[in-house]
Amino acid sequence: MKVSSIICFTFLIFLFACTQDKGDVPFKPVATCTDGILNGNETAIDCGGTCGDCKEITIPTQGYNAATNYAGYNLAWSDEFEGANLSTSKWGFHIGTGCPSLCGWGNNEEQYFSDNNSNIYQKEGNLIITAKNDNIGGKNYSSSRIHTDNKFEFKYGRVDIRASMPTAPGTWTALFMLNKNYTINNPGAYWPSGGEIDIMEYLGENRNDVMGTGHYGKDWPTNHRYNSVHFSALNNQSFNKVYYVYSIVWEENKITWLINDIVYHTMTPTTTSANGQPYPFNDEFYFVIALSVGGNLPKVKPLAKDFPDSLIIDYVRVYQKK
């Protein structure tokens, strides 16, 4: 056998990871340890090999569930994350590091955002976004960030997002909304002047705390202002262990933040005018969902041994007044 043939044959063995040739049955690719995930249909990780950093994705079985209807409101848009793949008619991807216009996505984050199915996929009616210890695009971590820009933009309504948070210290989960005119290519044009509504932010080093925030202020960077309120886990059930429902009720001249239907924060034009700034939240916005690693907000450095780790989202629902 020629040397080139031997090399090719060896490559195929590694590519198709331990699958046996049974008669006329062709080789089939199988999930292996290299994807960093203990796949549900995988009976032996890497065909029996060791995998010290693989972690099984555990879907929560407990937690709060939102109502499916509200008096005076209709369901206007939703994603229940059923099926095998994320709906590209509803969601787009932010890919890369944010460079050149928004390097580190504006926060010195340490991940490369991808659309790889090892970073984002659907399982048991949930969206799974997984941050991994990788070496992609000059970054040591990979994850995913999705949005509804130019796919679903809306003004006013009730938003419910049912989710379970990651565990790894140094992770930063953000469920937020940006002005319809905001773009990654020219971020300063509409941020923070166009407004940002952080439905929820969570840091992996503090599993019993989340916050809701509104960002605003004209003439970046001179007048960036924000109002943020923290909310503590209920009944000794950390945000990474069970589902919580993160909500806003968004009306003209008022945003109300809720967790498990408990009100904990509000903003109105009086809030922004107290800081000498206009109120930007009476415009259309779109969703962004991101699992970041590191950055300006986390207070601890991420460690490779804590990854992979995942954000789990059961649904996103938008209700608007009839």
Pairwise CA distance, residues 7 & 143, whole Å: 33
Work out the number of other CB atoms within 10 angstroms of the CB of residue 111. Answer: 30
Residue 169: what residue type?
Answer: P
Structure tokens, 35: 């994807």
Active-site residue among 42, 82, 109, 196?
A: 196
For residue 33, give Cα distances in angstroms to 104, 114, 151, 283: 29, 19, 35, 46
Q: Is residue 61 exposed (0-12), middle (13-18) or buried (19+ Cβ within 10 Å)? A: exposed
Give the DSSP H/E element, type plus range, for residue 6. helix 3-15
* Residue 42 annotated in active site: no
For residue 274, give Cα distances in angstroms to 108, 179, 193, 199, 225: 30, 22, 16, 22, 11
Active-site residue among 201, 205, 251, 252?
A: 201
Is residue 185 within 8 Å of residue 101, measured between CB atoms? yes
Q: Report the Cα–Cα distance between both ends of the chain, in Å, rounded.
A: 74
Q: What angle do CA 318, 236, 122 make, to 5 degrees?
A: 40
Give 51's contacts (C-beta < 8 A, 6+ positions apart).
Answer: 33, 38, 45
* Residue 201 annotated in active site: yes
Nearest one of 109, 111, 134, 161 to 37, comparing CA atoms? 134
Strand partners of residue 121: 128
List, as one string, the DSSP characters of 129-146: EEEEEEEETTEEEEE-EE
Catalytic residues: 196, 201
